Amino acid sequence: MNRKAAGTAAARVAGLFFTATAIGNAFGTLRIATGFLEWLRDGAWLPPFRSVLKRLVPAAPAVVLGTAAFQAVIAFMLLTGKGVQTALRLAQLFVLGLIPCIAWPYWVVNVGLAAAFEAVRRACLPRRPAAVPAADKLAAAGSPAS
């Protein structure tokens, strides 16, 4: 399997991951949305995040459904191959953005996920053609090399 094919396969796996998280949030976390946001609020280690999460607790079901919708969009992009680079950047922003809201040691997984999404993103990039040395360019143009 070449690098591009491996990157495409890895992007599809990431898409399945986001499909699972979207379904999990829509059908599992939604039932405990208020308690979940309170847990995030209590574990947030950056004071501004505690304040924001405190204000979001009354709207917890909407926050969880909005999160699930965002995850579903990323999943769709990755599974269909449309906007893979953008989807992987959004995935990175999502997992890194959650870190200040998640208590130690749970956020450590997000650091690893962000690194994995970057590796997949790079594997999906088209390869650049190899550079032609200057002497070869001159010879190809019919000019004598000095």
Residue 35 has pLDDT above 90, yes or no: yes
DSSP code per residue over 89-133: HHHHHHHHHHGGGS-TTTTHHHHHHHHHHHHHHHHHSPPPPPPPP
Q: How confident is the model at residue 141, as a pLDDT?
A: 64
Q: What is the mean pLDDT of residues 35-49?
A: 93
Q: How confident is the model at residue 135, as a pLDDT?
A: 59
Q: What is the mean pLDDT of residues 107-134?
A: 86
What is the band of 132 on the pLDDT scale with cuts at 50, 70, 90?
low
CA distance 87 to 67: 15
Q: Three-state secondary structure along 14-83?
A: HHHHHHHHHHHHHHCHHHHHHHHHHHHHHHCCCHHHHHHHHHHHHHHHHHHHHHHHHHHHHHHHHHHCCC
The label of the residue with tokens 């053609």 reads 129
Q: How confident is the model at residue 82, as a pLDDT?
A: 94
Q: Each residue of 57-75: pLDDT tens digit?
A: 999 999 999 999 999 999 9
**Domain map (residue ranges) of the chain:** 3-127
HSE at residue 76, side-chain half, CA atoms within 13 A, is 6
